[in-house]
Amino acid sequence: MSTSKVRDISADAMAVRQAFAQFPSGVAVLAADVNGEKHALVASSFMVGVSLTPTLVAVAVQKSSSTWDLIRGAASIGVSIFGRGQGDLTRKLASKDRASRFEQVAVEVGDDGAVLIDDAALWLECSIHRISDAGDHWMALLEVERLGVGDNEPLIWHGSKFRELTDARSVDVA
Ligand SMILES: Cc1cc2nc3c(=O)[nH]c(=O)nc-3n(C[C@H](O)[C@H](O)[C@H](O)COP(=O)(O)O)c2cc1C
């Protein structure tokens, strides 16, 4: 059964990427200090509200990520939701040069090693609840142990670009 709205995409990974970019999200960075070194993994696949009791959030991580192997062993994982004006910081923390990711980045490190970025929109300290196989990604459920809400509005990832909320373009609908 086919409609005029959809088509077979089995041989077109680029079309899948471009289509999925149409879905707006926030951007999170999972970060932890492991043996005195900070590690960061930027993820737009992050989602809140998976479960309230226990309080679970989720993230899909590429199986090829070398950083995930380090972060997943940490006692506590910090999650910061990037805010307005933090697009450049997001790219820096996702850059290939892992050693310089945290250079001149203002953070706070919790007792259990969770790394939280200054001026974010939201902060969580999490532990790993479950990791499931999800094709070329791992689907990680994280249990939220502590959280804090920042003053900054969230940064938006849409169409492979960072966007910011503006009052002029946000309209309350009934
Ligand atoms: C805006 C943005 C969103 C990203 N979202 C994800 C994601 O949801 N999952 C993921 O595994 N990697 C995501 N990445 C890529 C990772 O942040 C990182 O660059 C990649 O895992 C390679 O780094 P590593 O080898 O140090 O893990 C994203 C990168 C950017 C810039």
| Residues 68, 59 contacting (CB under 8 angstroms) | no
Sites in the chain below the pLDDT cut of 50? none
At 123 the pLDDT is 98
Residue 17 included in any domain: no
Protein residue with least CA distance to atom 4, ligand 1: 43
Residue 4 included in any domain: no
At 169 the pLDDT is 58
For a mutational test of ligand 1's pocket, the pick from 62, 77, 91, i.e. the residue with the most ligand atoms closer than 8 A to its C-beta, is 62
In sequence order, the β-bridge partners of residue 141 are 58, 130
Residue 136 included in any domain: yes
Indicate which atom in ligand 1 lies nearest the CA of residue 93.
17
Query: 27 CB less than 6 Å from ligand 1?
Result: yes
- Return the exposure string of 100-109: e unless at least 16 CB atoms fall within 10 Å of the residue's CB, then b: ebbeebebee
Which CATH number is 91's domain given? 2.30.110.10
Domain count for the chain, please give it.
1
Query: 21 CB less than 6 Å from ligand 1?
Result: no
Using one digit for the tens of pLDDT, what is the confidence trace for 100-139?
A: 999 999 999 999 999 999 999 999 999 999 999 999 999 9
At 11 the pLDDT is 86
At 168 the pLDDT is 61
At 37 the pLDDT is 96
Q: Give the contacts of 76 (CB within 8 A, at least 6 positions apart).
A: 32, 110, 112, 113, 114, 125, 126, 127, 145
Residue 36 included in any domain: yes
Ligand 1 centroid from CA 127, angstroms: 20
Q: In 3-state terms, what secondary structure has residue 44?
A: coil
Residue 5 included in any domain: no
Query: 80 CB less than 6 Å from ligand 1?
Result: no
State yes or no: cis peptide before 54, omega within 30 of 0.
Answer: yes
Query: 102 CB less than 6 Å from ligand 1?
Result: no
Residue 49 included in any domain: yes
Domain hosting 129: range is 25-159
At 172 the pLDDT is 66
